[in-house]
Amino acid sequence: MPVCFVVADGLAAIPIDRVKEKSTTELQRVRNLEVDPRATLLCEHWDPDDWSQLWWVRAYLRRIVASPGEVVVLEDRLRAKYHQYADQSFSHLLVFDITDTSGWAAHQGPSESG
């Protein structure tokens, strides 16, 4: 499912917000993470006119309990990245350690020599 997210200092955060209407903030994805804290975040980019610009990165995650300081940093980054969150509070934040990454790109940049 599509999500808003930020990454900072080896952590990824996904907000449970109050911006979009929901019947409850007790979402199934949160209940799933309570049973199994592992998750995957897939980020991709493509240019419809130039497929050589296609790339993706997969982050393997494990949900954690973040410190209050980490939460403040992550919330501030979410508000800076997404203008919809600028003056909003979050119901809560799903915070994850990034345990591994993998990725692919259609076009590799020029190799460095030397």
pLDDT in tens, 1-20: 789 999 999 999 999 876 66
Distance CA 23, CA 4 (A): 19
Candidates 90, 75, 5, 76; CA nearest to 41 is 5
> Could you tell me the pLDDT band of residue 25, with boundaries at 50, 70 and 90?
low
> Could you tell me the pLDDT band of residue 27, with boundaries at 50, 70 and 90?
confident
Quick check: 26 pLDDT over 90? Answer: no
The structural domains of the chain, ordered by start, are: 6-105 (2.30.110.10)
> Could you tell me the pLDDT band of residue 24, with boundaries at 50, 70 and 90?
low
pLDDT at 30: 84
